[in-house]
A and B are shown apart, each in its own frame.
Chain A
């Protein structure tokens, strides 16, 4: 594989998304148009953090020369790129748009940037914790015609490309995929680092290229319409029990589930 010959030229592209912080309990807007994101703490999607961390580890192991971050959205999405730069990524590309974005459009944008940059590996989080779509990485691999390693818990570079381990419903699956490739991260791939203060300062000087969808030749289309967003039916807290006898009696005679 060409990238083994000179790892310094190997580029890893990591798309990152800005989402409501995982520890915040979301509120549905009274007009049922969506979830309230005003004055709510935002953070990098946790699966994207894992993706950034893995890219940095590959670079630190000497197997890549540059880690480039990507994000698409309003101007404040640059803060999320900046978070990844503070973790250690080299530079960012921000596709500026205020339009709501569907996964297929995002995948096309990432594909365009990956082609432009000549990225050898794209590492994405397997899903974002807002839309819970779990689509973008798969779509990207399909669009680019590159092998897909989804839900990975391990990735090792070798002379044939990458040896990956996937977390699947029945256990673990090992695959060998060629390079260049697209992989999506599962939870146990790594534990992301915290940005150090010096690195946060350094990140302020790292470049973020701002582009528009038109600049990269992607049209923002909308195939999905959100008709309404509601809260799920609330589950009421039940009763306290004080012993095994009482619990078994209630399960048998009240809930009738055993």
Chain B
């Protein structure tokens, strides 16, 4: 929007693949002022750096490929962002657990007030962001000289993964404090699409009654090429792991089709899915609040409805 803007996007990945939210973050960056640079930190990330360089709209990729970034802490990435971010007017990351931890930390190191979870770029200093679990949208203007931003990735289209031709430049590791040591990760292994970027999401709530009953939803998700999500109640009850949670404090999704099965529809859950294109709710409680936001409401026992739906889809 202005010739003076210079945007840096911090890429998110797992050393094996670039996370799709990075592409949506690039789009937000381009909306502020193209072209944008990308910083990627990791270990053995030659292919990821190449993937970043191929993204349309990216001018330059800064690569910190070092052993210490195999599982970097927030502090380590923040140190790198501060060491290499001096020339930029805007520094962006996806509003994932990675970006939400990183950006405020890096902002405070530079005495900047960060801007969380933007859903719209109004101008180079003005942004829209949801507050109160998405029950209100605030338009905020930031007076700080550098804007430190996390991006609600579902609110921006993904930048084209191909078509760019950015230069790639290696940068040295930044000094770290050594206060945080990585121990291990227990990640949910799944062949299904990633929840926040899936085209279809099938979510289950307390109504599923057990983790075993989620098998039905997995079958439905597989039939529709989708991901499986859950309400907080289902995660708290131990039916599924924490990374399934959709809602105000979990993941925000906006798929083409969101199937809410046995989910009553608390405000906090709606906050994570109400921007879905089409919402289907299956619930045996006709008073369930989820029916007030669903495009198609099916007042039926889920243990009858889901097998019937699976059978119908097999036809």
> Using a CB–CB distance below 8 Å, which chain A residues touch chain B?
20, 22, 25-26, 28, 35, 47, 102-104, 107, 126-127, 129-136, 138-143, 145-151, 153, 163, 166-178, 181, 186-188, 222-232, 235, 237-245, 247-248, 250-251, 255, 257-258
B109 within 8 A of A: yes
Contacts of B291 in A (CB 8 A): 237
9-residue interface stretch from B52-60, B205-213, B248-256: B248-256
CB-based contact A130/B75 at 8 Å: no
| One of B136, B142, B279, B293 near A230 (C-beta < 8 A) | B136
- Given contacts A102-B113, A175-B182, A227-B126, whether A238 and B312 have CB atoms under 8 Å apart is no
CB-based contact B268/A148 at 8 Å: no
CB-based contact B296/A241 at 8 Å: yes
**Other A-B pairs, 5, CB within 8 Å; known A22-B267, A103-B113:** A26-B136, A172-B186, A225-B140, A229-B131, A229-B137
- Given contacts A138-B104, A237-B292, A238-B297, whether A168 and B136 have CB atoms under 8 Å apart is no
| One of B105, B107, B279, B311 near A244 (C-beta < 8 A) | B311
* CB-CB nearest in chain A for B290: A237
B280 within 8 A of A: yes
CB-based contact A228/B78 at 8 Å: no
Docked pose: A35 CA to B107 CA in angstroms: 27
| One of A136, A147, A187, A251 near B280 (C-beta < 8 A) | A251
Contacts of B184 in A (CB 8 A): 173-174
CB-based contact A231/B133 at 8 Å: no
Most chain B CB atoms below 10 A, which of A134, A170, A174, A188: A170
- Nearest first, the 4 A-B pairs at minimum CB distance are A147-B179, A139-B108, A238-B295, A135-B104
Contacts of A143 in B (CB 8 A): 108
| One of A140, A222, A232 near B130 (C-beta < 8 A) | A232
Docked pose: A163 CA to B280 CA in angstroms: 42
CB-based contact B138/A229 at 8 Å: yes
Docked pose: A127 CA to B112 CA in angstroms: 18
Residues of chain B from 235 to 293 with CB closer than 8 A to chain A in the complex: 235-236, 241-243, 248-249, 251, 256-257, 267-268, 274, 277-280, 291-293
Interface extent on B, as a size class? 35 or more
CB-based contact A142/B105 at 8 Å: yes
Docked pose: A149 CA to B181 CA in angstroms: 11
Contacts of B187 in A (CB 8 A): 170-172
9-residue interface stretch from B1-9, B40-48, B83-91, B114-122: B114-122
Most chain A CB atoms below 10 A, which of B98, B257, B312: B312
Docked pose: A100 CA to B86 CA in angstroms: 29
Contacts of B143 in A (CB 8 A): 222-225
Could you tell me the dominant secondary structure of chain A's interface residues?
mixed
Docked pose: A147 CA to B97 CA in angstroms: 17
- Given contacts A142-B78, A223-B144, A228-B139, whether A244 and B116 have CB atoms under 8 Å apart is no
Docked pose: A104 CA to B107 CA in angstroms: 9
Residues of chain B from 177 to 194 with CB closer than 8 A to chain A in the complex: 177, 179-188
CB-based contact B297/A226 at 8 Å: no
CB-based contact A148/B101 at 8 Å: yes
CB-based contact A226/B136 at 8 Å: no
CB-based contact B251/A169 at 8 Å: yes
Docked pose: A251 CA to B199 CA in angstroms: 14
Closest-CB distance, A24 to chain B (whole angstroms): 9
CB-based contact A138/B108 at 8 Å: yes
Contacts of B96 in A (CB 8 A): 169
- Given contacts A28-B136, A135-B116, whether A168 and B108 have CB atoms under 8 Å apart is no
Contacts of B242 in A (CB 8 A): 153, 167, 171-172, 186, 188
Docked pose: A62 CA to B162 CA in angstroms: 57
Closest-CB distance, B239 to chain A (whole angstroms): 13
Give 18 pairs: A residue, B residue, CB < 8 Å, sorted on A. A138-B104, A142-B109, A147-B75, A148-B105, A148-B180, A163-B183, A167-B242, A169-B251, A178-B180, A181-B179, A227-B139, A227-B140, A231-B137, A232-B134, A232-B135, A237-B291, A240-B299, A250-B296
Docked pose: A225 CA to B116 CA in angstroms: 14
Docked pose: A248 CA to B278 CA in angstroms: 13
- Given contacts A171-B241, A178-B179, whether A139 and B299 have CB atoms under 8 Å apart is no
CB-based contact B142/A224 at 8 Å: yes
* CB-CB nearest in chain B for A230: B137
CB-based contact A175/B296 at 8 Å: no
Contacts of B117 in A (CB 8 A): 132, 134
Contacts of A175 in B (CB 8 A): 73, 180-183
Closest-CB distance, A166 to chain B (whole angstroms): 8
B14 within 8 A of A: yes
